[in-house]
Amino acid sequence: MITRAFHAWEARLASVSTDRVVRPFEWGLDWLDGDHADAPTPREAIRAWGDRAVADSTAFFTPAPTSDYEHVAGPGGGDSTTLRFPSALVTPHPENNTVVARYFPAPATRRGGRAAARRAVVVLPQWNSDAGGHVGLCRLLARTGVSALRLSLPYHDARRPPELHRADYLLSANIGRTLQVCRQGVLDARRAIWWLHGQGYDRIGLLGTSLGSCLATLTACHEPLVTAQALNHVSPYFADVVWRGLSTRHVRAGLEGHIDLDDLREAWRPISPWTYIDRAARLKTLLVYARYDLTFPLDLSRMLIDEFRQRGLPHEVAMLPCGHYSTGVAPFKYLDGYYLQRFIDRNL
C-alpha cells in the first residue's frame, strides 16, 4: 500500500512538467570527432568511437588546461560569487560554451588549534535543475566549513540557447550528442576542480544528484584531486535509466523502433559509471538511493551498491524512504541534505 501511494505521488509530481518534447531519433555522428566513413553503419561507427573512448578514457575525459577564469561578484552580492570559464568542448551553441558556476566560500575555521584544511566540493545538480537548484545545500555546506562550487550543467540556465525550454541537448534521442555533451559536463567539472585547487583547496570532493551523480562518478574516477564523492540517486548504467525511468519516457519514445536497450547500453558505455567502477577503489563514496524511486529504478541502484560491496570498494549507503521527485519535498529533502552534508564533512 505504501509503495502504491508513493508511486502515485511520484507520477503526479512528474506530471507537473508539461513541456517535454519527443525529439526524433538521430545517430548524431556529426557530434563525434574523427572520420566515420569506413564504418559500415552508424551503429558500428558509434561502437568503434565508444571503444576508442573507453580504451583511453583518461584522454577522453581530460580537458586542456585554461587560465581564462573570470571570478566576479555574485547575483545581488550576498554569500556567493560567480565563476565563468570556457568549456573545453566547443558546441554549435555559443551560450553553452561558457561554463557558469556559483561559488559559496566557507568562513575560515580552525580545528584543534591549527588552521583547518581547506575543503571544497563541486556540486552537480540534476537534469533540468533551475538556477536555484542545490543553492540551499551549497549554503549548508559552506556554513559547516566546506566551500561549495555549484556548476550549471551543459545546456542549463544561462547556457541554454533560446530555442530550448528544457535541457534536451544534454540528454535526448540523439546518441552522439548525448555522448559528447555528457562528456562536456565532465570536462567542465574537471576545469572547475582545477580552479579550486588553484585557490588553495587541498581536499576536494564531488556531490552529484541524479544525472549529476553519473557525471560526478565519471569525473571522480578520472580526476586525481578528488578524494570523496557523494552520489545522490545512482545506477550502474546510463542507458537503463533512460529506457526505464519515469522522467525519460519521452526520450525513450524517440528511441524506440530505432535501437533496443542492449545496443543503447553499448552505445552509451563511455558515459556509464559501470565502465569505470574499478577506478573508485581510491575514493570514499556515498551511495544514496530512494526506496520508491521510479526514475532511477530500485533494482538498478541496488545492483550498483551490490557491485561496490562485492568488489570491496570503500563506500557508505543511505536509503531515503521516498521516491525520486519526492526527495525534493520536506521532510525528505532535509534527510537527504543531512546524509550528504554529514558524509562530505566526515570524508574531506
The domain that contains 127 carries what CATH number?
A: 3.40.50.1820
Helix (H) or strand (E) segment spanning residue 55 = helix 42-55
Sole residue written with cell 505504501: 2
Domain count, the chain: 1
Supply the pLDDT for residue 112.
44
Cα–Cα dist 140/263, whole Å: 42
Judged against a pLDDT cut of 80, whether residue 114 lies above it is answered with no
Q: How confident is the model over 129-184, as pLDDT tens digits? A: 888 889 999 999 999 999 999 999 999 999 999 999 899 999 999 999 999 999 99
C-alpha cell at 315: 563506500
Which residues fall within 8 angstroms of residue 82, CB to CB, at 6 or more apart? 71, 72, 73, 74, 75, 100, 101, 102, 103
Q: Are 104 and 132 in contact (CB under 8 A)?
A: no
Q: Of the candidates 126, 136, 127, 128, which has an alpha carbon nearest to the alpha carbon of residue 102?
A: 136
| Rounded mean pLDDT, 85-98 | 97
Check: pTM over 0.85? Answer yes or no: yes
> Residue 153: which of 236, 201, 218 has the closest Cα?
218
- The amino acid that residue 47 corresponds to is R
* Least confident stretch, 33-42, 89-98, 304-313: 33-42
Q: How many other C-beta atoms are found inside a 10 Å radius of the C-beta of residue 55? A: 10
In this structure, the strands spanning 81-86 and 70-73 are: antiparallel
Is the pLDDT at 244 greater than 60? The verdict is yes
Give yes or no for a cis peptide into 86 (omega within 30° of 0).
Answer: no
Question: How far apart are alpha carbons 295 and 293 in whole angstroms?
Answer: 6
pLDDT at 348: 93
Residue type, 97: N
Q: Cell for 2?
A: 505504501
**Residue 50 clears pLDDT 70, i.e. is over it:** yes
What is the per-residue pLDDT for 18? 79
Closest CA to 340 of 209, 217, 190: 209
Give me the sign of the Cα torsion angle 13, 17, 23, 28.
negative
Q: 176 lies in which domain range? A: 2-347
Whether pLDDT at 111 is above 50: no
Q: Average pLDDT in the 67-81 region? A: 84
> pLDDT-based confidence at 115, cuts 50/70/90?
very low
What is the rounded CA–CA span in Å between residue 8 and residue 331?
A: 18
Query: How confident is the model at residue 306, as a pLDDT?
Result: 97
